[in-house]
Amino acid sequence: MMKSFLLLILSLMITGGGASSDVKGCRDGWVDFICKYPNNKICQRVDVVKEGSQPIIQSTLKNMWETKGRFSVYHDVKNRNLRVVIRQLQQEDFGEYECKCDHKPGSDDVDLKVDDGCQKPFNQTGYRTAKTTISCDRGKSTVMFFCKDNGPVCEDLLTKSKTKSNGSFTLLETSSSFTMSISNVSPQHAGVYWCGVETNEGRNRAALRKIQLKVKDYY
């Protein structure tokens, strides 16, 4: 029994004792994932490190976004975790990530992989006071969402598991598509929308399709 216990301790020392979760993303899209750090203290500095490279972003801010190029990190002190956003994903972004607390390894890693459900971006025109509809292929995903670009994050509009109607936005589903309709279109509805998927109970999110919505007047 003592021998088995010692082997377990040795194994944890070698692997760091952390868990690893998979996140899938699309080239030119974005991912938004959460990784935890050791909860025995509040970190004074946090780092997000890609395997085999220097930190892609680091921060000494607490409960605030820090952005560096395509990368953003939010140090959530209350929940002892980091929220990481990578935008305009490139081939070199795929791989394993680790979140560190004061230069020490965190409690879990994230393995970013290419999603096979990516969809081509498109431009759409909506007309003032009318109704317009945005559709995405549903694929094998069960929890999907629509959001709109707003600073470092994509602002939630509709999620299958949470909200099917929100003001002028309404969610419709079929066996093959996930659709959002916007009623009484106005200039404020113009912008970049994304449809995507949630995994790991909402901790990991990834965009599958970009929709650029322009709003025009009827002639």
At residue 88, the pLDDT reads: 93
Task: Dig out the tokens for 182 from the structure.
Answer: 């916007």
At residue 35, the pLDDT reads: 86
At residue 160, the pLDDT reads: 63
- CATH homologous superfamily of 18-114 equals Immunoglobulins (2.60.40.10)
| Residues pairing with 99 in the sheet | 48
Greater pLDDT, 18 or 166: 166
The pTM assigned to this predicted structure is 0.81
> How many Å apart are CA 20 and CA 8, to the nearest integer?
18
- Residue 183 phi/psi, 5° resolution? -95, 155
Burial 141-177 (b: 16+ CB within 10 A, else e): beebbbbbbeebbbeebbbbeeeeeeeebbbeeeeee
Mean pLDDT: which of 7-16, 87-96, 173-182 is highest?
A: 87-96
Residue type, 216: K
Does the pLDDT at position 78 exceed 70? Answer: yes
Looking at the structure, give the CATH architecture of the domain made up of residues 122-216.
Answer: Sandwich (2.60)
Sorted by where each begins, the domain ranges of the chain are 18-114, 122-216
At residue 125, the pLDDT reads: 93
- Looking at residue 3, what DSSP letter applies? H
At residue 168, the pLDDT reads: 83
Tell me if 18-114 shares its fold with 122-216. yes
Confidence of residue 162 (pLDDT cuts 50, 70, 90): low
At residue 4, the pLDDT reads: 40
**CB neighbour list of residue 16: distance below 8 Å, 6 or more residues apart:** 105
Greater pLDDT, 50 or 14: 50
pLDDT in tens, 114-150: 888 788 999 999 999 999 998 888 767 677 888 898 8
> How many Å apart are CA 18 and CA 23, to the nearest integer?
16
pLDDT in tens, 2-39: 444 333 323 333 334 456 788 889 999 999 999 887 76
